[in-house]
Structure 1
Amino acid sequence: MPTAVKNSTANSLTPIYEFLLRFAASGFIPGHWFISKQPKKHQLTAKSGKLHIEIVSHCWQYSQFLSHQLASISHFPPTSGQLTFTLFYSSEDEATVALVAQYQAISIERVTWNFQAIDTPQLLRRAIGRNRAAKHTQADWIWFTDCDVLFLENCLDSLNQALQNRNDILVFPQQLKATCLLKSNNQLLQPTCESIKNTEFKHREFKKATGPIQIVHGDVAREVGYCDSLNVYQQPKERWVKTYEDRAFRWLLGTHGTPIQLKNLYLIRHEEKGRYKKDSEFSKLRQAIRKIKSDLTGR
């Protein structure tokens, strides 16, 4: 069969594969069937002292959020241990490119900037960057997050403390402080806004390691990557896609994670999603659904 035909057939079957994996990851099929070696807690090293932690973030046309995230690290860096901040972004995103250039010129003790520009289609499938970071990390722990998460005063130090002498496969912050769903014209979402003091935040509780709060043991990350064994989640996309691979990752690891307590972890919530076409009818419908869900559940 010619290569072009093979690729066309594979691409046409991708949605089917993704649907079947979503079904499997719901718990109907064991995750260890799809991974060469599921990690075991008792085989992991529990480290203490000044830990090396890597935070991995993505940004696609969300520079207004990234500016707050970078500022939070710049203003409240760790006072012990070492932090590597890895960011995947696209050179097509001019606002993010400018922001990266600004912070590349800033030297902060105990913080290493690891800005990585990748092709836009690879950026739009978040698991690709996360998998690359996982396989190459040198850190004791690696935190997969999003650019709307902020690490304010003592957050990173409390993280270092919470991870002392732990050999968990996966941990997550049990609670954080989040805004309500903000409209695009909210002051906090403007690049010129430098303070969040006047923004209302509410406590949110979590029962498992969801998309932006997955903190993985470094040995686990290096061994299994991030959905590395699920090829369907390592394929570039033409638009930002819904991140079903987050649940698949927990499924592969065989755990929802262990809760830990952190100080001053914040989340900016917003109505508009970058993966939807701006002002389209579908985008407006999705925004309305998110607003209703937020009003009813607080999520």
Structure 2
Amino acid sequence: MALPQHQQPAMLDGVKEFLLRIAASGYFPATAFIKNQPDKASLRVFNDDIKLEIVSHCWNYARFFVYQLSSLVKYPPTHMQVRLTVFYSAEDVETAKLLKHFQTIEVPNVEWNFQELPTPLLMRRAIGRNHASKHTKADWIWFADCDMVFHEGCLDTLEQLLKGRQDILLFPDTLLVTPLLTEADPMISAGKDKTTLLEVDKTKFKPRKFDRATGAIQIIHGDVARQCGYCDDLAVYQKPKYHWTKTYEDRAVRWLLGTQGTPIALPNLLLIRHAEKGRYKENSKISVVRKTIRRIKSALINK
């Protein structure tokens, strides 16, 4: 039976994404897919007045995102200039309210850059990340998640570590992470207050090691970002989605850039983990399946 006309492009894109995941695993050379692979030796070195752009996406995560925003207010960088770019949708009313409140707070060395997107463009994080990459004026750009917290000393240490570096891609090799928190946890409940600067309970966090630049720990040299974008040459990753999906773009980025990233050690970089994502329709099949998978992974491999 033939698929309806509107389902055919979506299925074709799904096949393309699957094939790209295979290619990015090392079965095909990235040079066949990227027009401007970066040359590490040609990258500029920055030593003074370093500028960093942090890019986050937020969809139905305001109760976690308030901790990231609060951390930038409470622990701003001392010498580095940070621009926080946030992509969000007006359909997410709670996030819109949260950003409206923080927009009024002036923070030394921190610039707010809140960018509203149509929801289908927000769902595909590579679209916002690609736009930010190609337009950034920063020396380095960090693709983060909105449930990450930059606690005391984190950004000041990063500023020192970025001096004199000529790396294509960096990543923090250790995060402090919570167990999977439920909606009843006091930290998540407190996050529903959108007008108060909040502090995390650091006793809930334990270290977890990483061996590559993945997810929310991708810090790319600004020259590389402007030259290569974020999966700019992979058209299927620049198409909108109509529901929040798991991304595989970070694997493609490492493949295209020809590196797993160089590890750096940052103190007090925190990640809030939660059993219920809140991005999928409540009690839907995909919500139940993803929740079960997260709990199994957490129990077996602490991920």
TM-score, normalised by the number of residues in structure 2: 0.94
Deviation at 1:44, TM superposition (A): 0.6
Q: 1:148-167 counterparts in 2 under 5 A?
A: 148-167=147-166
Deviation at 1:282, TM superposition (A): 3.3
* Corresponding residue number in structure 1 for 2:285: 281
In 2: Cα distance, 1:115 partner to 1:41 partner: 31
Give the stretch that moved more between structures: 53-62 or 189-198: 189-198
Deviation at 1:177, TM superposition (A): 0.4
CA contact (8 A) 2:38 2:224 kept: yes
In 1: Cα distance, 2:202 partner to 2:155 partner: 23
CA contact (8 A) 1:56 1:85 kept: yes
Give structure 1 regions of 4+ aligned residues with deviation exceeding 3 angstroms. Answer: 7-12
In 2: Cα distance, 1:12 partner to 1:237 partner: 12
* Corresponding residue number in structure 2 for 1:257: 261
Distance 1:244-1:198 versus aligned 2 partners, 3 A rule:
closer
Deviation at 1:280, TM superposition (A): 2.0
CA contact (8 A) 2:169 2:219 kept: yes
Partner-residue secondary structure (3-state), 1:157:
helix
Deviations along 1:210-233, one digit per CA (max 9) or x if unpaired, are 110000000000001000000100
CA contact (8 A) 2:70 2:199 kept: no
Deviation at 1:40, TM superposition (A): 1.5
Q: 1:46-61 counterparts in 2 under 5 A?
A: 46-61=45-60
Deviation at 1:9, TM superposition (A): 5.1
Give the stretch that moved more between structures: 184-193 or 72-81: 184-193
Partner-residue secondary structure (3-state), 1:83:
strand
CA contact (8 A) 1:65 1:148 kept: yes
* Corresponding residue number in structure 2 for 1:100: 99
CA contact (8 A) 1:240 1:274 kept: no
Partner-residue secondary structure (3-state), 2:149:
strand
Paired letter, 2:115: Q
In 2: Cα distance, 1:173 partner to 1:198 partner: 18
* Corresponding residue number in structure 2 for 1:215: 219
In 1: Cα distance, 2:302 partner to 2:10 partner: 38
In 2: Cα distance, 1:135 partner to 1:106 partner: 28
* Corresponding residue number in structure 1 for 2:273: 269
CA contact (8 A) 2:170 2:220 kept: yes
Question: For the aligned residues, what is the CA RMSD?
Answer: 1.5
Partner-residue secondary structure (3-state), 2:204:
coil
Aligned residue pair count? 294
CA contact (8 A) 2:124 2:245 kept: yes
TM-score, normalised by the number of residues in structure 1: 0.95
1:291 and 2:295 correspond: yes
In 2: Cα distance, 1:10 partner to 1:293 partner: 33
* Corresponding residue number in structure 2 for 1:225: 229
* Corresponding residue number in structure 1 for 2:180: 181
Deviations along 1:134-172, one digit per CA (max 9) or x if unpaired, are 000000000001000000101111111111100100000
* Corresponding residue number in structure 2 for 1:121: 120
1:76 and 2:75 correspond: yes
Tell me the percent identity. Answer: 53
The runs of 5 or more residues in structure 1 that have no matched partner are none
Deviation at 1:284, TM superposition (A): 1.9
